[in-house]
Structure 1
Amino acid sequence: MALEYRLFSQIDLADPFFDSLKNDYKEFTEWFNKKAAQGECTYVFYSDNGCLDGFLYLKTEDEAVSDVVPILPAHMRIKVGTFKINAHGTKLGERFLKKVFDHALDRQINEIYVTIFDHHQSLINLFGSYGFQLVAHKTTPNGREGVYLRRVRHTPYVDPMQSYPLVNLASSTPYMLALMPEWHTRLLPDSMLVNENARIIQDVSHTNSIHKVYLGAIPGMNRLTPGTPIVIYRTTDNQGPAEYRSVATSICVIEEYRHLSSFQSKDEFLRYCGPYSVFTEPELNDFWDRRRYPHVIRFSYNVALNRRPTRQQLADEVGIDRTLRWSLVPLTPAQLLNIARLGQIDESLIVY
């Protein structure tokens, strides 16, 4: 099922999903009903059997956070007002976090914060793995919560996860990696070639996650080491000249490269690929049996370009050699920055 943006008034507060929130926050029912009366919306996730499994409410603030110690000075921030998931071995928490970062990027806001009770250790660990740090405490009649803050930009680069969605050009040669339209659409739904002005609100393919696993047979893919930035290049769909239908769509960062032969068994291979791959299990079984795609890369999906530079622009304005086969092309840092500018993304996301 999809992550949906719904009115509070369309959500059943009596659903047992909300019981733990009502226990943690005595005022939760009153707060929920107030949001419903105000016509506000929130993200929800329903499982395939129709059960509510996730709830995410985000709020934009610009005042000081004065009910915490120490006080957070006035600043534009995204507040993660409510974040709850029922984990069933899925990556729903990461999908929700991607939505949090998407909101911050879309609104050009640098700070995100969330308050979490100490007994929700798994939630603390999830936010901590993406760089959220304990900066204050909040004490209410409900108990004491930690206040966890993350700055999106203008912060030292740590690694692809802790610093997501930043892209670091300082230590690796960037590349442009070609994907055929069939795989591109499945893998990177935010980068489909349609006018998606409501991209942040509507979303929402099951493939919308921070981490991706992709298999390929392009020579040289073993050079894609952890931290390597990659520009995703969607090849032509043959609906028009390739000069205008082949486009750069996204900037991602390699987290790990593995050769198919590094897996000791099919079960190990399926366990590795399954949670993050958009390939079906029959497809993965076929890939393993036929050994057609020996290169396995895991990468983070950092930025979808707001404008998609065409092959013509990539050649004429970025300087990518037309005589090369554009399957896996090394780029200079200047070329990646030029693609970012043509893509009209926030250049402060690029560290160099």
Structure 2
Amino acid sequence: MELIQKKFKNINLQDYFFNSLLKDYQEFAHWFARKAEDNAYVFEDDRGNINGFLYLKIENEVITDVMPHLPAKRRIKVGTMKINARGTKMGERFLKKIFDHASHNGVDEIYVTVFPHHDVLIGLFQKYGFSRVAEKISENGVELVLLKELHKLQDDLVKSYPMVNNMNVKRHLLSLKPEWHTRLLPDSILKNENARIIEDVSHTNSIHKVYLSAMQGLENLKRGDILLIYRTSDGLGPAHYRSVATSIGVIEEYRSIHSFATRDEFMTYCRPYSVFSDAELNQFWARKKYPHVFRFTYNTALKRRVTRGEMIEQFGLDPNNYWGFMALTQNQFDSIVRAGQIDEGIIIN
């Protein structure tokens, strides 16, 4: 099941999926018809049934159909978002797509209107920093207006997502082998890799990631630490040119594998966001070969990959250090980020 873009005119409004929207909004069918040439994101199963729908719109004007009115700003309106969650992190996948659009289009805010009875959806938006700022009253009833200001840190790293707090934190380079890198961070896939090998499963849908490793030093990770993800060489050329920095994440939590009381507790923690299969996780639990377990948010991919050679020759990284897990100075990190051409405003200094 893939997230794809389709024109409204090619989306089946008669699908059972839309029944609740047709019930909530009297004008939904007419609105849908007017959007015939516009694009929306949909999740479809193998039989063509819709399991998720997302429509985004960029606005610049004063929002007058809510109380109080919202002043003119460049915003993304989540015009419609509905999901049927069946085991995958579809809600997170949609939120990530919304944030990707916001970064790409340089907007200041994102907002959505939602009826109070959709408590699960409201909770999802609030988890990622949306707060209630107004109400929309129409023939359909009263909707809550939830808004998130971008380029502004909140009191929690998940609520601040995708912003990265680069003040008074530690920064680390973390290396991943190509096979794990592609499975864990699909948006950072390199041009010479085959996107078809990426399965549409929980860990690739999600904002959050869980990884296990035996590298020394990982036990010192703290919540809020920044990770610069480094994909090691694919063996098709010298590491000097083939090993590259690709992504930025933020540590949510570190756990020793020995801190889990039971296998079931370990599996429950790792399974939703891990690249590893149940068989691999069972083996890791039995052997305790990879004692470091950590969860992090996947905040952004570098638009331009920065090579090992550049990091050594231009930004002062020591080629003799152990590049599996290595501390970075703020100057080194900032220089690599600039060279990586990430969207302006993601990193808050």
Q: Tell me the TM-score normalised to structure 1 length.
A: 0.94
Which of 296, 307, 315 matches 1:299? 296
For the structure 1 residues 243 and 293, does the alpha-carbon distance in structure 2 shift closer, same or farther, using more than 3 Å as the test?
same
Which of 92, 97, 105 matches 1:107? 105
Contact residue 256 and residue 292 of structure 2 kept, 8 A: yes
Contact residue 135 and residue 142 of structure 2 kept, 8 A: yes
Cα distance in 2 between the residues matched to 1:77 and 1:137: 17
Structure 2 residue identity aligned to 1:96: F
Unaligned runs of 5+ in 1: none
The equivalent of 1:145 in structure 2 is: 143
Cα distance in 1 between the residues matched to 2:266 and 2:58: 42
Whether 1:73 and 2:68 are equivalent positions in the alignment is no
**CA shift digits 1:6-35 (9 cap, x unpaired):** 122222111111010001101111111221
Cα distance in 2 between the residues matched to 1:205 and 1:319: 38
The equivalent of 1:262 in structure 2 is: 259
Which of 101, 109, 117 matches 2:115? 117
Segments ≥4 residues shifted beyond 4 Å = none
Cα distance in 2 between the residues matched to 1:110 and 1:42: 22
The equivalent of 1:128 in structure 2 is: 126
Unaligned runs of 5+ in 2: none
The equivalent of 2:239 in structure 1 is: 242
The equivalent of 2:9 in structure 1 is: 9
Identity score, percent: 54
Structure 2 residue identity aligned to 1:181: P
Cα distance in 2 between the residues matched to 1:195 and 1:180: 15
- How is 1:176-325 mapped onto 2 (pairs within 5 angstroms)? 176-194=173-191, 205-206=200-201, 207-325=204-322
Whether 1:162 and 2:159 are equivalent positions in the alignment is yes
RMSD (Å) for aligned C-alpha atoms: 1.7
Whether 1:24 and 2:21 are equivalent positions in the alignment is no
Whether 1:63 and 2:61 are equivalent positions in the alignment is yes
Cα distance in 2 between the residues matched to 1:139 and 1:122: 21
**CA shift digits 1:167-212 (9 cap, x unpaired):** 112232110000000000000011111189xx9xxx9843132101
**CA shift digits 1:275-318 (9 cap, x unpaired):** 11121212212222222211111000001000011001111112
Contact residue 188 and residue 208 of structure 1 kept, 8 A: no
The equivalent of 2:91 in structure 1 is: 93
Q: Which segment is superposed worse, 277-286 or 222-231? A: 277-286
Cα distance in 2 between the residues matched to 1:18 and 1:307: 40
Cα distance in 1 between the residues matched to 2:189 and 2:66: 42
Q: Tell me the TM-score normalised to structure 2 length.
A: 0.95
Is the partner of 1:19 in helix, strand or coil? Answer: helix
Cα distance in 2 between the residues matched to 1:8 and 1:50: 15
Q: Which segment is superposed worse, 84-93 or 227-236? A: 84-93
Cα distance in 1 between the residues matched to 2:289 and 2:11: 46
